[in-house]
């Protein structure tokens, strides 16, 4: 695995795949919540990871769930630019 | 059986699966027989919120708390509140001289007794069924069943408080604190207030509402809530911490200072020294 050059979105995908050994890929538009790739308890760690990789502070109380529902949405909202 | 009794079958189903794991946190040989008819169906219906892992971790935490508290304090009067299809009376070792009171709905207690009788399962401790509704005057029924209000008591309220309103939960804790002498203990679990409003838990909470068993109460400040109702926390853990499923809980433990996080609390508490000054109660409330 490439260490320093792995794009943040791929690190997020890698985190999901590490928790779901039966999966080999996650599509950019796949609903992570409906498909139970992220559940209410892993969600906290998931949001901390996005926060860490993006440098954007995320308030759990005001977070719009739509912003983290797919890898594409995460890319657009937190990792673009 | 009423709806709350079906949730007793649900948690029995969790214990049945745990019993069948080679690395299970505890053994419960009876759980599979007590989970019928709806336990496994509900397990499927409510999956995805970490509830199964939580029930397993909670069961073991309370088993351990039992052994520790009874050994350390010499308390020999134990009251299990709405413990449903739990069979600690049959599966744990108890110090000589202990009496256990099980307070629950009559039909549920009868059903559990009938199923255990079929298995020829005998309790390992003198056990007194107290058929009463916790919303009614259950304490009088408990006393008439032999409970000694002058004797130090270990109360267990497992998987109970979130089904109550905040006011009911507070009143129950007040009642427990007032019904036993100083030096008594309480083992209880709660959920965080944030869990009840978190967007990720809403589908799970909606299913519970649809099934007539809504979760209604949680607190982000368990120390404060218990203190306002006569109890001082001696041990507070989140699942995944040492002594509370560390190594088994499949999630990271959120730091306490992180706000808005769905959590569960596993708690051992003791009666606050009484009489406490009324101004202190006011401040805590």
Q: What is the pLDDT of residues B5-37, one digit of tens each?
A: 889 999 999 999 999 999 999 999 999 999 999
Tokens of B157: 């309220």
Instruction: Work out the number of other CB atoms within 10 angstroms of the CB of residue A1.
Output: 6
Q: Is B249 helix (H, G, I), strand (E, B) or coil?
A: coil
Average pLDDT, chain B: 92
pLDDT attached to residue B4: 64
Confirm or reject contact between A40 and chain B (CB < 8 A): yes
Closest among B200, B215, B29, B259 to B122, alpha carbons compared? B29
Q: Is the ipTM of this complex over 0.95?
A: no
Cα-Cα end-to-end distance for chain B = 37
- List chain A domain ranges: 8-79
Q: Residues of chain B whose C-beta is under 8 A from some C-beta in A?
A: 48-50, 194-195, 198-201, 204, 250-252, 254, 258-262
Average pLDDT, chain A: 89
Q: Identify any residues that bridge with B73 across adjacent strands, giving them in sequence order.
A: none
The CATH-assigned architecture of domain A8-79 is Orthogonal Bundle (1.10)
Of B49, B254, B260, the CB nearest to A61: B260
Q: What is the pLDDT of residues B179-225, one digit of tens each?
A: 999 999 999 999 999 999 988 888 889 999 999 999 999 999 999 99
Contacts of A63 (CB under 8 A, 6+ apart): A47, B199
pLDDT attached to residue A4: 60
Q: Which residues of A touch B195 (CB under 8 A)?
A: 40
Cα–Cα distance measured from residue B67 to residue B279, given in angstroms and rounded to the nearest whole number? 36
Confirm or reject contact between A15 and chain B (CB < 8 A): no
- List chain B domain ranges: 50-284
DSSP output for B143-169: HHTT--TTS-EEEEE-S-GGGS-HHHH
Q: For testing the chain B interface, which of A16, A31, A41, A45 should be mutated: the one with the most B CBs within 10 Å? A: A41
Nearest CA in chain B to A45: B252
Nearest CA in chain A to B51: A41
Confirm or reject contact between A76 and chain B (CB < 8 A): no
The model's pTM is 0.89
- Any idea which residue has 């351990």 for tokens? B64
pLDDT attached to residue B275: 56
How far is B5 from chain A, CA to nearest CA, in Å? 25
Query: What percent of chain A clears pLDDT 70, i.e. is strictly above it?
Result: 94
Cα–Cα distance measured from residue B171 to residue B250, given in angstroms and rounded to the nearest whole number? 34
Contact B176, B186 (CB under 8 A): yes
Closest among B192, B185, B178 to B142, alpha carbons compared? B178
pLDDT attached to residue B285: 45
Q: Which residues of B touch A60 (CB under 8 A)?
A: 194, 198, 258-261
- B204/A61 Cβ within 8 A: no
**What mean pLDDT comes out for the span B122-136?**
95
**What mean pLDDT comes out for the span A39-47?**
87
- Classified by CATH at the fold level, domain B50-284 comes out as Rossmann fold (3.40.50)
pLDDT attached to residue B274: 63
């Amino acid at each position: 695995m490439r260490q320093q050059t792995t794009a943040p979105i791929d690190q997020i995908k890698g985190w999901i795949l590490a928790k779901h050994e039966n999966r080999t890929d996650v599509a950019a538009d796949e609903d992570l919540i409906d498909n139970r790739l992220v559940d209410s308890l892993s969600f906290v760690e998931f949001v901390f990871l996005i926060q860490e990789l993006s440098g954007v502070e995320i308030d759990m109380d005001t977070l719009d769930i739509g912003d983290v529902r797919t890898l594409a949405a995460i890319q657009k909202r937190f990792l673009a630019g | 059986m009423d709806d709350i009794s079906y949730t007793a079958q649900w948690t029995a189903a969790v214990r049945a699966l745990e019993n069948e794991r080679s690395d299970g946190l505890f053994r419960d040989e009876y759980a599979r027989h007590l989970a019928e008819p709806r336990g496994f169906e509900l397990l499927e219906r409510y999956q995805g919120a970490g509830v199964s892992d939580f029930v397993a971790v909670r069961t073991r935490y309370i088993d351990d708390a039992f052994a520790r508290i009874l050994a350390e304090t010499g308390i020999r009067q134990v009251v299990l509140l709405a413990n449903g299809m739990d069979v600690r009376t049959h599966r744990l070792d108890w110090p000589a001289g202990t009496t256990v009171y099980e307070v629950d709905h009559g039909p549920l207690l009868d059903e559990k007794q009938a199923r255990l009788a079929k298995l020829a399962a005998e309790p390992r401790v003198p056990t007194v069924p107290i058929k009463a509704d916790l919303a009614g005057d259950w304490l009088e029924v408990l006393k008439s069943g032999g409970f000694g209000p002058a004797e130090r008591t270990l109360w267990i309220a497992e998987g109970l408080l979130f089904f109550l309103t905040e006011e009911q939960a507070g009143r129950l804790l007040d009642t427990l604190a007032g019904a036993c002498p100083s030096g008594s203990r309480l083992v209880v679990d709660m959920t965080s207030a944030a869990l009840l409003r978190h967007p990720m838990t809403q589908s799970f909470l909606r299913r519970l509402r649809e099934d007539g068993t809504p979760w209604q109460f949680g607190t982000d400040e368990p120390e404060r809530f218990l203190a306002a109702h006569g109890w001082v926390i001696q041990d507070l853990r989140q699942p995944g911490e040492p002594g509370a499923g560390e190594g088994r809980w499949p999630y990271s433990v959120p730091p306490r200072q992180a706000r808005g996080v769905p959590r569960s609390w596993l708690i051992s508490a003791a009666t606050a020294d009484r009489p406490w000054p009324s101004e202190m109660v006011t401040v805590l409330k």
